[in-house]
Amino acid sequence: MTEQNEKSAPQRAETIDAIVRYDEIGLKGKNRPLFERRLVQNLRRVLGLRDHGVQSTRGRIKITAPVGADLSPVSRTFGVKSWSPATSVRAEPDLEAISAIALTAARRAVEEGVRTFKIDARRADKEFPKTSYEIAHIVGGVVDRALPELTVDVKRPELTIGVEVGTRGRAVVYCERMPGPGGLPVGSTGRALVLLSGGIDSPVAAWFAMKRGLEIECVYFHAAPYTGEKTKEKVIELARILTAWHGGRPIRVYIPAFGKVQDAIAEACPEPFWTLALRRVMYAVSDRLARAKQHGALITGECLGQVASQTLENLYAIDRKVDSLVLRPLVGQDKHEVIAIAERIGTFETSTLPYDDCCTLFAPARPKTKVRAADLDDACADLDIAALAELSLATGERVRIAGDGKRDVGPIWSKTEPDVGAEETEARAEPS
C-alpha cells in the first residue's frame, strides 16, 4: 500500500489491530523479559496467531489479526491490564494520517450523540519530532475545527481518542479501553497442582492460582464405584472451562482411583476420622504427583471456618505429613465472594449440578471438627498411606482437556506422553 493510499484509506482492510497494556508491578529486573515473553506467547495461543501477529513494542503489546478475528480472549488473559481495538497507521511528523483516523472516529461518536472529547497522546519513540503534548494539540485541533458539535474537555470527556506513536515508524489510534483481568501471565511464576473437586470452591482457587501466574494441572480423586461417571465428567468439564483462563493451554487432570482407598479407610480407621484420613491420603497422592510432575505447590479450595471440617486444627493435621507447599487462595474469602467469582469465570453453573462427590458420600455421622494431629496419626496407624497412594495412581487415568473439548486420555504414569515441562522449556526458549 502506498503512502497516499494509506492516508486516504485509513482503515486497512485486511487486518485489525489492538494494543495491550500490562502492569509494571513485579516487573523489575530479571523477571521482566520472562513476563513479557510469556504474555506474548499466551496471547498468540489464545488468539491462534503466529509470531508476527503478537509483538511487544516497548511497554505495550501490539496485535495484528485477520479481519473478523475474535479478540475477546484478550480480556481473559492474565497479565493484561487493559486493551484497545486500534487502527494502525504510519507515524508521520505532519500527523495527517493520524488526524484523519481520529476525525473518522470522532465523527462516528458525534453521530451517536457524543459532545465532549480529548486526545490522549503517548510517544514511545523519543526520536519522533513531536512531543506527546504537541501530538494531542495538533490532532485535537483538527477534530475540533472539523466538528463544531464537539468541544474539548480534558477532565471528563465522553470520548477519549488515544494516539500512541510507537517505534518502527508506526502509530495507533483507538477509542475504547477494555479491562483485562490483571494478574501475571500464566506460566510466569511456575507450576502448581490443583486439588479439583466438583464443588464451587476449588475451581475458584484454581483461577486465583492462574491469576498469579501459575500454570496448573489438576488432580481429582474419583471414588468409583461410590461416585459415578457423571461426577467425573463434571470435574473434567470444570477443567475445560478453566482453560479459558489458562493462556491458551490445555489442562491435564489426573484421576487416581479412590474407591479402594475409601474401603481401606473404612476398615482401618475409626469412623469419626474418615474424612480427615481421606484427606491425608489425598494430600499424600498430591504430594507424590507434584514431585513427579514438577509442581512447586498444591492448591486447594479449602477456606477457614467455611464448613465444620475446615478448622485451623484440621488443616494443620491434614497436611503436616506432606512436604509440598500448600496454598489455599480462598482462606480469606466469604462464600458469597467465592460464588460471585465462580459466576464471573463461568464455573458456577457446572459446580452446582447435583452430583455427589466422594467426601459427601463418605462423611462420617459425627465428624471430628477439631482434631489433634497426634490423634489423627493414631487413627491412621493401620493405614499404609504410601501403598494406597501408589495403587490409586497406578490404576487411575489422566485426561488432557482443551478449551474446545478435545481430550486425550491415558495412564497417569506414561512413557509415551511428552515429559511434563518439555512444553514449558520449549516455550521459554522461544524468542519474543
Q: Which residues bind ligand ATP (CB under 6 A)?
A: 195-197, 199-202, 219-221, 300-302, 306-307, 309, 357-359
Between helices 229-242 and 201-211, what is the axis angle to 10°?
Answer: 30
Collect all residues with Cβ–Cβ distance below 8 Å to 320 and sequence separation of at least 6: 373
Q: Give least dist CB 309 to ligand ATP, A.
A: 6
Nearer to ligand ATP, 162 or 199 (CB): 199
Among ligand ATP, Mg ion, none, partner that 195 touches (CB below 5 to 8 angstroms by kind): ligand ATP
Q: How far is the CB of 287 from ligand ATP (least distance, A)?
A: 13
3-class SS of residue 157: coil
| Contact of residue 80 among ligand ATP, Mg ion, none (CB under 5-8 Å per partner type) | none
Q: What is the smallest separation between the CB atom of 360 and Mg ion, expressed in angstroms?
A: 7
70 is written with which cell numbers? 475474535
- Distance between CA atoms of residues 431 and 34, nearest Å: 10
Taking the least distance from each CB to ligand ATP, the nearer of 83 and 207 is: 207
Q: What are phi and psi for residue 217, nearest 5 degrees?
A: -125, 165
Taking CB within 5 to 8 Å according to partner kind, which of Mg ion, ligand ATP, none is near residue 221? ligand ATP
Cβ at position 220, least distance to ligand ATP in Å: 5
Q: Which residues contact 59 (CB under 8 A, 6 or more apart)?
A: 124
Dist. CA 260–CA 98, nearest whole Å: 69
Binding-site partner at residue 254 among Mg ion, ligand ATP, none, CB < 5 to 8 Å by type: none
Backbone angles phi and psi of 131, in degrees to 5? -75, 170
Query: Could you say which of ligand ATP, Mg ion, none residue 358 binds, taking C-beta under 5 to 8 angstroms by partner kind?
Result: ligand ATP
The residue sitting closest to ligand ATP, measured at its beta carbon, is 199
Task: For 324-360, give one letter per residue: b (16+ CB within 10 A) or e.
Answer: bebbbbbeebeeeebbebbeebbbbebbeeeeebbbe
Quick one: DSSP state of residue 341? H
Stated as kind and residue range, the H or E segment containing 221 is none
Could you say which of Mg ion, ligand ATP, none residue 77 binds, taking C-beta under 5 to 8 angstroms by partner kind?
none
Binders in 195-224 for Mg ion, by CB under 5 A: 197, 199
- Rounded least distance, CB 423 to ligand ATP, Å: 24
> Looking at beta carbons only, is 248 or 301 nearer to ligand ATP?
301
Burial class of 124 by CB neighbour count within 10 A (0 to 12, 13 to 18, 19+): middle
Which stretches does DSSP call E strand in 201-340? 214-219, 251-255, 297-299, 326-327
Work out the burial of residue 28: count CB atoms within 10 Å of its CB; fewer than 13 is exposed, 13-18 middle, 19 or more buried: exposed
# of chain residues touching Mg ion (CB under 5 A): 2
Q: What does DSSP say about strands 190-195 and 297-299: parallel, antiparallel, or unpaired?
A: parallel
Instruction: For the CB of residue 347, give the shortest distance to ligand ATP in the complex, in Å.
Output: 10
189 versus 202: smaller Cβ distance to Mg ion: 202
Shortest distance, CB of residue 275 to ligand ATP, whole angstroms? 8
Least distance (Å) between residue 52 CB and Mg ion: 45
Q: Which is nearer to Mg ion, 224 or 427 (CB)?
A: 224
Give the amino acid at 107. R
Q: Which is nearer to ligand ATP, 42 or 286 (CB)?
A: 286
**Phi and psi angles of residue 21, each rounded to the nearest 5 degrees, phi first:** -105, 140
Residue 209 interacts, among Mg ion, ligand ATP, none and using kind-specific CB cut-offs from 5 to 8 Å, with: none
- Give the nearer residue to Mg ion in terms of CB position, either 62 or 234: 234
Using left for φ > 0, alpha for ψ between -120 and 50, and beta otherwise, residue 247 falls in left
In the three-class reduction of DSSP (H, G, I as helix; E, B as strand; rest coil), residue 62 is classed as strand
Q: Segment 171-200, which members bind Mg ion (CB under 5 A)?
A: 197, 199
How far apart are CB 300 and Mg ion at their closest, in Å?
10
Grid coordinates standing for 3?
A: 503512502
Q: Which is nearer to ligand ATP, 195 or 290 (CB)?
A: 195
Which partner in ligand ATP, Mg ion, none is near 256 (CB below 5 to 8 A by kind)? none
Q: 167 vs 311, which CB is nearer to ligand ATP?
A: 311
| Residues contributing to the site for Mg ion (CB under 5 A) | 197, 199
